[in-house]
Amino acid sequence: MPDVGPARVELRGLRILGRHGVLAEERLRAQPFELDVDLVFDVGVAAESDDLADTVDYAAVVAAATRVVEGEHCRLLERLVVRVGEAVLELDTRVEHVTVVLRKLRPPVPADLGSAGVRVTISR
């Protein structure tokens, strides 16, 4: 098998309810957030073995992101997106970089705004 090396694994459109924001109403009533998570790691061993033990468990990534968004209370999206990224990196030392995009789907602004979000990349 050829040397495959690092690849970007993409998880898209994870929707989770959370209580985050500066306004009191945002912290009292759960609102929808949407996340995209990109994981960069060497997929060569998994590509050869075809064994789940040789790759990053995407279900564990989803569970970690869900725990953070449902369990923590952050005023700023900037803090929340970094906390999600940190939680993902803690799961598996094979992940070299994680990029998390976090979107608040109902931002409290007086305009027809589809979402407000933050994208961050965290490296080991």
Residues with catalytic function: 104
CA gyration radius, the chain: 16
Residues 6+ apart with CB under 8 A from 115: 34, 103, 104, 105, 107
Distance CA 39, CA 32 (A): 23
